[in-house]
Amino acid sequence: MRKDTENEMEQIQKGLEQFLEREVDGVREDSRPEDEEEFWETDAEDGEEEPDYFPEDEEFSGERDADFLPDEDSFRDEKDFFPEDEEEVPVEKKRISRREAEDRSMGRRREQKEENQSGRTGKKKKHSGLKKFLIFILILLAIFFGGLYLAVGVVYDQMNYEQNESVSGPLKENGVTSVLLIGSDSRTSGTEGRSDAMILITISDRTKTVHMTSLLRDMYVEIPGHDGNRLNAAYAYGGPELLMETINQNFGTGVYHYAVVNFEAFANLVDAVGGVELELTNEEVQWVNAYLNEYNELRGMPMETDYLDTSLSGNIHLNGAQALAYCRNRYIGTDFARTQRQRNVLSAVMKKLPGALITNPGGLINGLFPNLTTNLTQGECMRLAMMAGKLLTYDIVQDSLPLDGTYSNATIREMSVLQVDFDQNRAYIRKEIYGEE
């Protein structure tokens, strides 16, 4: 009986060991080195030793055998003791090898690494998308500015460039870009003739305005290197350079660049934008026809070319020749009224200029620029061209100097002139144009 019981115990122990081994995933006993240590996974606290549930070298006493073993009659064979379809009882402890522990640890590290790489890959994709977008924008900008530079180069080749370093300075100073526009009564390109109109164009980033300030030619001013005289005499003495120096000295401005346009350039500019709509009195209509007589003769046209209907008044569409005749009228009102008419035409042209750049670029280039003389370099023209977009958002302000109440009529050396309080006019310029308090 004792021997049979021991045999059954050995079978039970063997069956339990096989059962536990099947519960451990991935255990391969035949691939484990002989000297590999065994590790236990249990619910015991760290540092506690696991009890030896199956001592191999302990002999069972009869008393313990009796307590431990069931009755002989209650035993079933091993197949009944471990039925295949019976639910398995959970086991609290599992025995795994050092290699399996390391494999599991490496697996967790590999999963963590894959998660990290996945996160980095997502970030890389985001950065890659942003990088491609920035490159695309840079390419567009390069194409735009490259095309703009070529276009400015084509236009610049049509201009008449004059370099003179007697008066030099920046195009932009204290946030204000300044160019002196000079209307010459010359019939050909160049700076010969008298300054029939002088308009200071200032673009202020501080006040977000484009000022068109007419300078009356009869103002009595101090001219560097010469006696005092009318302002337009400075142009006759020393051309645009002396005129700019005179304006800077008397008004405290910082203008060092100019553009001179003759009669033909002015008329061609108006025609290139498709003409302008202006409010005229019937008297102004009569004087338009009178000034057309001289201009038609100069260009070899029949006397009555471009005449207006003498019964007209109110809002009238003017072409280039008619607008030029309208601006030159000095018999209605004072010189203030004449400069106001000049600014009226320029304001109307500036409003239509963006559209004309698209619809009639050839007319602008061929009609205006061959009759324009300037000391602006190609690079400075490029800077002005790049400002075109924001100029559409700036307000256009029309001014004339001297201001009302800051001058008086006088006769000096038998010349009828305007005697000006320059301190008040300088203060106005510093505030309205330069944005200073």
Count other C-beta atoms under 10 Å from residue 331's C-beta.
12
- 9 within a domain of the structure (yes/no): yes
Q: What is the pLDDT of residue 41?
A: 42
222-254 burial code (b ≥16 CB/10 A, e <16) = ebeeeeebbbbbbbeebbbbbbbbbbbebbebb
DSSP 8-class letter at 219:
B
Beta carbons of 285 and 310 less than 8 angstroms apart: yes
- 332 within a domain of the structure (yes/no): yes
Residues 281 and 388 in one domain: yes
Helix, strand or coil, per DSSP, at residue 122:
helix
Last residue of a domain, one of 105, 124, 151: 105
- 141 within a domain of the structure (yes/no): no
DSSP 8-class letter at 23:
H
- 134 within a domain of the structure (yes/no): no
The number of folded domains in the chain is 2
Residues 98 and 204 in one domain: no
Looking at residue 414, which CATH number applies to its domain?
3.40.630.190
Q: 97 lies in which domain range?
A: 2-105
As a whole number of angstroms, the distance between CA 418 and CA 425 comes to: 13
Q: What is the pLDDT of residue 53?
A: 44
Q: What is the pLDDT of residue 95?
A: 54
Q: What is the pLDDT of residue 83?
A: 47
Residues 186 and 97 in one domain: no
Q: Compute φ and ψ for 307, nearest 5 degrees.
A: -60, 145
Residues listed for the chain: 437
- 325 within a domain of the structure (yes/no): yes
Last residue of a domain, one of 89, 105, 121: 105
Residues 318 and 406 in one domain: yes
Torsion of CA 316, 304, 364, 366, to 10 degrees: 180
Nearest to 77 by CA among 165, 7, 1, 159: 7
Distances (CA, A) of 396 to 66, 72, 251, 392: 115, 116, 21, 9
Determine the straight-line distance between the first and last CA of the chain, rounded to whole angstroms: 121
- 77 within a domain of the structure (yes/no): yes
**Residues with pLDDT less than 50, the chain:** 1-5, 24-70, 72-93
pTM, whole model, 2 decimals?
0.65
Residues 203 and 316 in one domain: yes
Beta carbons of 235 and 221 less than 8 angstroms apart: no
Residue carrying structure tokens 């069972």: 60
Beta bridge partners of 279: 315
Maximum distance among all Cα pairs of the chain, rounded to whole angstroms: 157
Distances (CA, A) of 52 to 34, 55, 402: 21, 6, 114
